[in-house]
Structure 1
Amino acid sequence: MTHFLLIHGSWHGAWVWYKTAPLLEAEGHEVTCAELPGRGRHPATPAFVGLSDMVRAVLKQLPPGIRFTTVAHSRYGILASALAEAVPDRVERTIYLASYMLPPGDRAASWFRSDRQSALLPGIEVNRLALWDWLQPHVYREALYHDCPVEDWMLGRLMLCREPARPAITRLKLTDANYGRVPRAYVRLTEDRAVTPAFQDRVLAATPVDRVEDIASSHSVYFSKPEALVRTIVRLSSP
């Protein structure tokens, strides 16, 4: 069985996996739902949270020494890549879920601006002095949760928070010797209005993977289709 490390995306927290984690555990897998610094049980001042801080925080939340498969959602594909670079011998596979799987030297912020059809764009607020960004509530339903149960939309309305901005403006330092030897797979979300399918295809064109699967879902597949998500990531985690 596999130990899955589940990494949430921007503005969210470990709570997004409340449907996914029990389904994985019911199949005999182990699960760590990472809580990134700046939210939940890991409060932090956004200006002081960098990508390397997130790597250290996630590794502290994992059982010592175990090997794991990372499933990273949205912006924090960059964190999954940084983890593969930092501890390649511990990462069995990285599964990018409608995620920022970027080439070495690139920055998430630059790629985000290129997704001109994203429904996130009208709702983004950036504080350049305090180094955080925020998604305004009026776009939540359309951008993130259009096919999700109303209870999950409400949960998002109650829980979304400011996001540390430094990781998104950090250039990725990735090497073939470390990051390059960790197998990669990608899950396309074909109804995604936040990280659009066209954007996902550009990501895939820039960085090769050995497997790709599609789910017909919004950006928040962990709410809308958790069973399909679990089937897909379990299949992709298999040798």
Structure 2
Amino acid sequence: MKNGSSLLRHLLLLIFLSSPAAGEPTKKKNHFVLVHGSCHGAWSWYKLSTILQSWGNHVTALDMAASGVDPRQPKTISSAFHYFQPLTEFLAGLPSGERVVLVGHSFGGLGVAVALEEFPEKISVGVFVAASMAGPNLSVSTVHAEERSPPLDSHNVYENGEDKPPTSYILGPLKLAKHLYSLSPPEDLSLAITLVRPFPLLKINDSEFKFTEERYGSVKRAYVITERDLMATMNFQLWMIENNPPDIVVEIKGSDHMVMVSKSVELAYQLQRIAQQVSLLDF
């Protein structure tokens, strides 16, 4: 009986959140652009994309360079700007006057930061989901030095031979299970183990990243905290929020790092709410 009641509550939640009243007013739909984390691809957003589209929104999930189905190989990616090239090219090609809700997960947060500086006029809000959030007063190297997570079975990949420096690294099955997908459905973990690709070992140099208050700081930012995240811990997320305060902060209870699959409906609902809040602030 207890399991049946729990299932009923979950179904009622899905029905409520799928209704127009639970999301943004039907007269205003958004274009969400989704940037995945390291080793992943556009495929990692499949649940979230489906929900947002079912609510009438337009969704673009991009593969970064050498990720997902992008044909490039990690050893050919020399910098973060090269890695995020699919994002910057997409934003550059948007029609004049169109603004998107830009969402980055994990390492994808750096792509959001780069885009805020380069294309502030094309972004209504930058959303960092359990993501790295550098800014004018918080350097990329400082953020990455603060982020600590044991590698477990993750390992370097030597595409040029083991006598040469490593070119990339890949998240191992145990790492995925223990730190990223710890509260996600087992089928999503299996999918990830099958689809993850080696992530380029990028040289992060602070001199390459210039985030200014005039451009980066002119766009509204939101942060989505993942409460039970074992990859980007709560302490790490709160540290970034304290040192680079966004305009909006929301928390998704009971979520692991892969909130787009472990709490996909809740994340979709929060993204709709964030977009709605920003649209009201801009009115």
What TM-score do the two structures reach when normalised by structure 1? 0.91
Q: Is structure 2 residue 171 aligned with structure 1 residue 135?
A: yes
Separation in structure 2 between the aligned mates of residue 114 and residue 175 of structure 1, nearest angstrom: 22
SS state at 1:192 partner: coil
CA contact (8 A) 1:4 1:32 kept: yes
1:230 alignment partner in structure 2: 268
Contact conserved, 2:153 with 2:172, CA < 8 A, in 1?
Answer: yes
- Choose from 125, 146, 156 the match for 1:93: 125
Deviation at 1:113, TM superposition (A): 4.2
2:109 corresponds to? 77
User: Does the CA contact (< 8 Å) of 2:133 and 2:143 recur in 1?
Assistant: no
Structure 2 residue aligned with 1:214 = 251
Over 3 Å counting, the alpha-carbon distance change for 1:202 and 1:106 in structure 2 is same
2 CA distance for matches of 1:207 and 1:197? 15
Aligned pairs for 1:31-50 (under 5 A) are 31-49=59-77, 50=79
In 1, distance between residues paired with 2:85 and 2:187? 33
Mapped partners of 2:146, 2:89: distance in 1: 34
Report what 2:15 is aligned to: none
Contact map agreement 1:184 1:210 (CA 8 A) in 2 = yes
Q: Which residue of 2 aligns with 1:151?
A: 187
Shift of residue 137, structure 1, vs aligned partner:
1.9
Partner in structure 2 of residue 192 of structure 1: 229
Query: SS in structure 1 opposite 2:32?
Result: strand
Number of aligned positions between the proteins: 235
Aligned Cα root-mean-square deviation (Å): 1.9
Contact 1:98 1:187 in 2 (8 A): yes
| Residues 70 and 95, structure 1, Cα contact 8 Å, conserved in 2 | yes
| Greater displacement, 133-142 / 220-229 | 133-142
Once the two structures are superposed, what CA deviation does each residue of 1:119-149 show, in whole Å capped at 9, x if it has no partner?
x433443458243222222221111111111
CA–CA distance in structure 1, aligned partners of residues 239 and 174 of structure 2 = 28
Equivalent-residue separation in structure 1 for 2:123 and 2:170 (angstroms)? 31
Superposition map of 1:91-130 within 5 A: 91-104=123-136, 106-107=139-140, 111-116=143-148, 118=149, 120-126=150-156, 129-130=165-166
Structure 1 partner of 2:241: 204
C-alpha contact (below 8 Å) 2:168/2:201 kept by paired residues = yes
Aligned partner of residue 271 in structure 2, secondary structure: helix
Unpaired segments of 5 or more residues in structure 2?
A: 1-28, 158-163, 279-283
Matched letter for residue 196 of structure 1: T
Q: Which residue among 48, 56, 72 is the counterpart of 1:20?
A: 48
| Unaligned residue ranges in structure 1 (runs of 5+) | none
Q: After TM superposition, give the deviation of residue 161 of structure 1 in Å.
A: 1.1
Larger radius of gyration: 2
Provide the TM-score with structure 2 as the length reference: 0.77
Percent identity over the alignment is: 29
